[in-house]
Chain A
Amino acid sequence: DTGVSQDPRHKITKRGQNVTFRCDPISEHNRLYWYRQTLGQGPEFLTYFQNEAQLEKSRLLSDRFSAERPKGSFSTLEIQRTEQGDSAMYLCASRTEGGTNEKLFFGSGTQLSVL
């Protein structure tokens, strides 16, 4: 497999601007997750897709955050009116459905810096 791909690797933006990140999961994986990781912390769950359906959202996901997964392939995470507190690493992960293999494959993340 080619792994989970995230773009861009780094994003610097000014407070108040909108940003969008893309995640391409491993092709046969129908489950896709977004996590956020701040400095010195472990990743925190944001949202989950099964195919194109967004089935779970964390309360961390404010109204300024929106995620989509059209056609059940790649996913985008948009943050509107960015705030300095949004500065973090945004990680995408994917896995297959069912079975006993619960291994979650992560991408290298998008590092967001809000100035």
Chain B
Amino acid sequence: AQKITQTQPGMFVQEKEAVTLDCTYDTSDQSYGLFWYKQPSSGEMIFLIYQGSYDEQNATEGRYSLNFQKARKSANLVISASQLGDSAMYFCAMREGRGYSTLTFGKGTMLLVSP
């Protein structure tokens, strides 16, 4: 079974609107971390947001928030007030256990923001 599943290959959104990118995960560990990274066409992976499995509140970082539903094993990324510069690939990732923080990534979602 895949550890990280991103079911949306591509998403379209208009500028200034909100968009939700889906991510579900599979782990039997009690301690884990969930991440979202943005990868523009330049190739660099840019950290957006982190949610620990024991965090009771959903993580927020500026226009980014993570909708963490532990029982459903989902960690959706919400981008509010989309901007043209948000157009990029978005990857959900998971760190399992308390090991070396190696991350397992999903296949990504391409987000296109239109004017």
Contacts and interface: CB of A to CB of B under 8 A. Distances in A.
Given A42-B93, A42-B108, A48-B102, 18 more contacts: A31-B101, A42-B91, A55-B100, A56-B100, A56-B102, A95-B101, A102-B35, A102-B50, A102-B101, A104-B47, A104-B101, A104-B103, A105-B47, A106-B44, A106-B45, A106-B46, A107-B44, A108-B44
Interface residues of A, number: 26
Interface of A: 31, 33, 40-45, 48, 50, 55-56, 89, 91, 93, 95, 100, 102-109, 111
Interface size grouping (class) on chain B: 20 to 34
Interface of B: 4, 33, 35, 37, 42-47, 50, 52, 91, 93, 95, 99-108
A41 B107 contact: yes
Given A42-B91, A42-B107, A44-B105, A31 B43 contact: no
Contacts of A108: 42-44
